[in-house]
Each structure stands twice: as structure tokens, then as C-alpha cells.
Amino acid sequence: MDQDVVLGVDIGGTKISVGLISVDGQVHRHVETATPATEPLITEALRGLLTSVAGDAPPQAVGLASAGPVDLVRGTVSPVNIPAWRDFPLIDLVGDIVPGVPVTLVGDGIAYALGEHWLGAGRGAASMLGIVVSTGIGGGLVLGGAAYPGPSGNAGHLGHVVVDPAGPPCSCGAAGCVEAFASGPSMVRWARGRGWTGPDARALAADAAQGDTIALAAFDQGTQALARGIAATAALCDLDRVVIGGGVSAAGEVLFAPLRRHLEHTITLDYARRVTVHPSTLGRHSGLLGAARSALPSPG
């Protein structure tokens, strides 16, 4: 196997994605599955995916992205949106499945930002926030042209920034977090409380695109919370660019139009108003590519 090919793994509340990634960002042998609900099934699914993709020849390294919080020192994860994992020894598990190769663990938000900065809509940005809008709200920062995970590995965790202390309870234990308003399940829950009867966030987006007033209002209140989180981060980190992906971002202008409108009113400082918002150009591979990039040798 080429010495510059690594195994990329992206674990989120919705899906687990695995692929072999070359130094130029080409994805090989990619497979993914829905994230199971219970711990034995998650481990079984992860073991099957890693074994099938790695094949007989071990990769140079494994780049491992997981929903967080993550604990880089202990190699454990406690994803808010994967209740079956609390202080779960993820590095040990992956090391057992793919023995003898180094494993690099990063939060999924950092991986997403790193992937988009490397090959996607974030290329060339000096200061960037990557956001994943899906089952939860993930976030990662690129500052000074380099990923910034912070000392604990959890910097940029936008979903658990409180934007309304009187808001709904969040799965993290706080109230009024961005995620409690703007994640797919949160917007669906809000809409159902007002009479909408659709099955999921995809249906909510489709109804909003057709002009359904409740669905439109759900996206409006969700993007208002998201805009507040972005505005705070832009002021704090002096951002150039925001790149948004994840399953809910597939709603397109149903999401981006109200978000940009709310940002116009929410960002007031001149230096922060230069920030621009873009959809992902890597789609479902953003986090996978970022995970791999964390384990690839640095350029030069």
C-alpha cells in the first residue's frame, strides 16, 4: 500500500463513514452505514467497516474523527448525540481493529473544518469556522491557516454556545444552545409542536421550499440561533469565512437565505461584517477528508 495512504474514519450521530485517503485527497474504498443506537452494535459496525476498507495491507495511519466531546489525553469520546458512548475508549478500539499503526483522534467539527480548508470551500481562508448542521451542530476552527482544536481538542464546539438562556433544554444539560434550536431534530420538534406532521428534517426542508408557513418558521427560528452563534464567533475569532455542511445544509437556500438575513442584523462590528458564508463543496466527505488530513504528513 502507498505510504501516503491513510484510513479515514468519521463517526457522527447519523452515520459512520470510512475510506482510504491518499495524500492528494482522493477517496478509495469508501463505505458508510447509519450509526446504530446501542454500544454493541456500534462496535460491530465500526469493526466491520474498518476491516473491509483496510483490507489485508495495513494503512500508514488512521485519522479518526468523532462527535464530541473528545478526550485526546485518554483517547476517549462522550458524544452528546451518541448516548451509548460515555468515556468510550475509541482509540483503543480502533487500535485493536487496525493494530500496529498510529491513530490520530480529532473532534468531528475540527475534521469537517480541516477537510473544507484543505480541499473545499474553505481553501485560502486565514480564519474560518466550519459548521455541521445535522443531528447536532458541530463546529471547528481554522485560525492563522491551521486547524485549532484547542488544548482539549474541543475548540469551536458551536452547537453548545448558549444563545438564549430562556430557550429549550439541550441534550448537553444546558438550555438555549444553538443546537437546541438549529439542529435537524430540534427544528422538527419545534414544527411538530405547532401542528406540522412530517417525518424528519428532510421533509421539513421540502415543505419549507414549497412555502409551508410552519416549516418556514422552523427554519427561520433555527437560523436565527445559528446566526447568533456565528456572530459571536466572528467577533471573538476575527473570521474571514464560514463553511456550512451536514445533512440539513442540503436544504440549500431554505437554510442559507434566512441565515444570511439574520446575520445582516446580528453582526454589527465592521471587522466582523466581512465574514462570508458558503455551503460545503465536499458534501458527505468533508469530515472523512479532514480526519485523514489530520493523520497525513504535513506538506513539505
What pLDDT score does 250 carry? 94
Q: From the CB of residue 204, how many other CB atoms can be counted at a distance below 10 Å?
A: 28
- β-bridge partners, 8: 19, 63
CA dist 126 and 91 (Å) reads 31
What pLDDT score does 299 carry? 59
Cα end-to-end distance, the chain, whole Å = 21
Residue 137 cell numbers, joined:
451542530
CA dist 233 and 143 (Å) reads 12
Please tell me the total number of residues recorded for the chain in this structure.
300
CA dist 133 and 95 (Å) reads 30
Rounded to the nearest integer, the mean pLDDT of the chain is: 94
Yes or no: say if 191 and 232 are a contact pair by the CB < 8 Å rule: no
User: In sequence order, what are the residues at sequence separation of 6 or more whose Cβ sits closer than 8 angstroms to the Cβ of residue 185?
Assistant: 135, 201
User: Is 260's pLDDT higher than 60?
Assistant: yes
Question: What are the φ/ψ torsions at residue 98 (nearest 5 degrees)?
Answer: -120, 80
CA dist 68 and 50 (Å) reads 20
Instruction: State the amino acid at position 260 in one-letter form.
Output: R
Closest CA to 8 of 285, 298, 299, 300: 285
Confidence of residue 4 (pLDDT cuts 50, 70, 90): confident
| 37-88 per-position pLDDT tens digit | 999 999 999 999 999 999 877 899 999 999 989 999 999 999 988 999 999 9
| Cis preceding linkage at 69, omega within 30 | yes
**CA 293 to each of CA 37, 43, 188, 190: distance values in angstroms, whole numbers, following the listed order:** 28, 24, 34, 37
Confidence of residue 13 (pLDDT cuts 50, 70, 90): confident
| 86-123 per-position pLDDT tens digit | 999 999 999 999 999 999 999 999 999 999 999 999 99
Residue 151 cell numbers, joined:
488544548
What pLDDT score does 3 carry? 54
pTM value?
0.92
